[in-house]
């Protein structure tokens, strides 16, 4: 399949405009997720940057940009932050990473500004491109007029801008996206090989596998649905990604089910890690609370303590096992399993604590189990997971 994006073009530093006057002139800006607008965090500035043409007109992307206090004496790592559906660019998210020691940029990928009469009802602007709400129905437009093309371009141009800052080490810039932002992260990491690491939260590939968008594909019809999946499903791009990657999700995520995430890990071009919270919720704030994303970034960029890494798994002598890197000893381990069938979102998962051996855990899988995986926790309480195994009888 021909690549949609021209990386030579997207790798160039985009033109930037100041957006501070827009923010100061309108008291309806939101700085965090939720019904309350929040307070603008210090050290985070508002900008526009150029993006792809849409319907032959120039477009711009709104973004929040921030660097850690004192950055400049020594170059710092960076991160590109990609919001999910219903969200926008979040200044608070930028500040969270600034306080961790990272320069950060959070852009709106849907042609909006983080401003409106209430949360989720975002204003568009005169330089807007296509919107997420029409991502499926516009499949018959030229590919470069469609939302996934523009959204990924906005992400990669934001990356090009961030890594160009004099305070930033361009060899240590990663990406983290939540929900639809995880979807865009899953594509972007396979298109832009300059990223140092990636943390997709919830979002992944294989949207044709019992995802929250089954109804959208039904409305498209079989032929147009195949066309959409051919162009825009992340599974087409994930195999090109070889960078350190951590997928963070919940066992019953309503949008991107566990099999979708598991299959995305399976086709990844490197050795991705997985972190599954049993019955964990889905929102930007839920994603922000998962400390695994920052710990993983630190382990790649700041020589931080790594999380437990599963190096091998399978069945042996009638038992499921998962071997882990012995340099990272877990403090606890559990077999997580479900005896339910049907939709992944509705299955109930049970947890059974298991003994930790010398670099391996093993457990008998209950006879009625339909799927299972191991969870590990380290001394910090961070979760690492093995891949999910299924009994497909």
Structure confidence by residue, pLDDT tens digits, 153-200: 999 999 999 999 999 999 999 999 999 999 999 999 999 999 999 999
At 2, the pLDDT band (50, 70, 90 cuts) reads low
pLDDT value at residue 391: 87
| Superfamily grouping for domain 7-301 | Alpha/Beta hydrolase fold, catalytic domain (3.40.50.1820)
At 105, the pLDDT band (50, 70, 90 cuts) reads very high
Q: What is the pTM of this model?
A: 0.96
Q: Which residues pair with 45 in a beta bridge?
A: 65
Among 51-60, 104-113, 134-143, 384-393, the minimum mean pLDDT is found in: 384-393
Percentage of residues of the chain with pLDDT beyond 70: 99
pLDDT tens sequence across 273-321: 999 999 999 999 999 999 999 999 999 999 999 999 999 999 988 899 9
State yes or no: pLDDT of 1 exceeds 60: no
Distance in angstroms (rounded) separating the CA atoms of residues 361 and 330: 10
Distance in angstroms (rounded) separating the CA atoms of residues 90 and 117: 16
pLDDT value at residue 329: 87
Instruction: Classify domain 310-390 by CATH number.
Output: 2.60.40
Tokens linked to 50: 């150029």
Q: Please report, for the chain, the start and end positions of each structural domain, with discontinuous segments joined by +.
A: 7-301, 310-390
Q: Please check whether residue 280 is in contact with residue 255, taking contact to mean a CB–CB distance below 8 angstroms.
A: no
The 3-state DSSP class for residue 314 equals: strand
State yes or no: pLDDT of 89 exceeds 80: yes
Q: Which of 318, 319, 338 is nearest to 390 (CA)?
A: 338
At 55, the pLDDT band (50, 70, 90 cuts) reads very high
Distance in angstroms (rounded) separating the CA atoms of residues 374 and 376: 7
CA 176 to chain centroid, in Å, comes to 5
Interval 118-126 mean pLDDT: 93
State yes or no: pLDDT of 393 exceeds 70: no
Percentage of residues of the chain with pLDDT beyond 90: 93
- Strands 168-178 and 76-82, how do they pair? parallel
State yes or no: pLDDT of 215 exceeds 70: yes
């Amino acid at each position: 399949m021909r690549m949609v994006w021209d990386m030579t073009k997207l790798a160039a530093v985009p033109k930037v405009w100041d957006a501070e006057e827009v923010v100061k002139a309108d008291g309806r800006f939101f700085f965090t997720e939720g019904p309350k607008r929040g307070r603008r965090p210090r050290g985070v500035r508002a900008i526009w940057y150029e993006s792809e043409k849409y319907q032959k007109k120039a477009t711009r992307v709104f973004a929040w940009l921030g660097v850690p206090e004192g950055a400049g004496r020594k170059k710092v790592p960076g991160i590109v932050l990609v919001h999910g559906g219903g969200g926008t660019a979040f200044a608070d998210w930028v500040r969270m990473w600034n306080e961790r020691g990272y320069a950060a940029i959070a852009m709106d990928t849907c042609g909006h500004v983080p401003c409106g009469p209430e949360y989720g009802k975002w204003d568009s602007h005169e330089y807007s491109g296509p919107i997420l709400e029409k991502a499926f129905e516009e499949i018959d437009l030229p590919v470069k007029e469609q939302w996934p093309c523009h959204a990924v371009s906005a992400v990669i141009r934001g990356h090009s801008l961030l890594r160009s800052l004099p305070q930033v080490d361009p060899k240590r810039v990663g990406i983290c996206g939540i929900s639809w932002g995880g979807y865009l992260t899953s594509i972007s990491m396979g298109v832009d090989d300059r990223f140092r690491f990636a943390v997709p939260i919830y979002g992944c590939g294989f949207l044709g596998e019992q995802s929250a968008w089954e109804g959208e594909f039904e409305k498209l019809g079989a032929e147009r649905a195949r066309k959409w999946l051919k162009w825009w499903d992340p599974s087409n791009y994930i195999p090109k990604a070889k960078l350190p990657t951590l997928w963070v999700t919940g066992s019953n995520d309503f949008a991107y089910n566990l099999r979708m995430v598991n299959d995305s890990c399976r086709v990844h071009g490197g050795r991705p890690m997985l972190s599954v919270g049993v019955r964990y919720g889905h929102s930007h704030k839920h994603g922000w609370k998962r400390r695994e994303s920052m710990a993983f970034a630190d382990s790649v960029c700041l020589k931080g303590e790594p999380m437990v890494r599963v190096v091998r798994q399978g069945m042996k002598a009638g038992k499921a096992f998962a071997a882990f890197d012995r340099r990272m000893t877990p403090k606890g381990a559990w077999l997580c399993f479900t005896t339910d069938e049907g939709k992944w979102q509705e299955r109930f998962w049970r947890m059974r604590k298991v003994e930790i051996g010398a670099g391996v855990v093993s457990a008998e899988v209950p006879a009625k189990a339909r799927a299972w995986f191991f969870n590990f926790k380290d001394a910090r309480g961070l979760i690492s997971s093995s891949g999910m195994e299924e009994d497909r009888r």
